[in-house]
Structure 1
Amino acid sequence: MYERCNLVFVEPTSFDDATKVPEWIDAMKSEISIIEKNGAWFLTNLPSGKHAIGVKWVHRTKCNPDGTIFKHKARLVVKGYAQIGGVDYGDTFAPVARLDTIKLLIAMAGQLGWNVFHLGVKSAILNGELEEDIYVCQPKGFMVP
């Protein structure tokens, strides 16, 4: 009976809540290390006339099919609603696959005997080149002097 129930995990809603649980601290450290490894940002002084966009942590508990915890995932996201069109960005574009296309490819794979593999992306950060300079605040708890 318990396997059929949808369990709810309490996820932290703030950085301060997350720092009380070691698993969330490890998840945030992992996210910061991936950002640094990918060279997604570098520390600089804020030029005059520019404003820095805030960031926040988003926490999600990933579960196995049986409801047990698979991992704690923390993502550092930019508060995009604070951006100003023409100042912080010129155009927006996010490549996504349509569900119809995915269904078609899976159906073709079944009919043609293709192998289908599941791919999990650990970090899909900044897949494209930015033309604008974007300035963000350092995340709380991970500030570098």
Structure 2
Amino acid sequence: MVGGLCFAAGPVWWLLLAGGDGAHYAVGFMPGLVLTGVGAGLYQPVMFSAAGLLPARQLSLGSGVLMMSRQGGSALGVAALVMITGGAARPGLDALRAGWVFTAVTAALAAVGGAAVRTGVRADPGESGGSGTDPLRHH
């Protein structure tokens, strides 16, 4: 959830501070890049560790679903941004702002989704090899 919020904060930063007024890169853009990078760094390890909780017989399937969802999500996001910016090689500031709004909203929705997901998964302390209990079974 925190990762999604940090990722959403980057485009919000750009919406508020990145204008056509010649703001310095270190003030106008870099903080947003840092926020989105921190967001990605916070949510991706959680996804990988969740896949690691699968039983050994389902580990390959879980890893494949995770990778497919990441690649598919990236492709859909790029396609949406191309549509929003009109496919321009050098989109104007208004098109970029629309893309930043889209990115902030989708990242915020991901944070809401992360907050809504509650599982009773607990790692089995007696089991070695990194896999825990079956995530489909709630305690």
Q: Which has the higher contact order (CA 8 A, sep 6+)?
A: 2
TM-score for the superposition, normalised by structure 1: 0.26
TM-score for the superposition, normalised by structure 2: 0.27
Relative to total residues, which structure has the larger helix share, 1 or 2?
A: 2
Larger Rg: 1
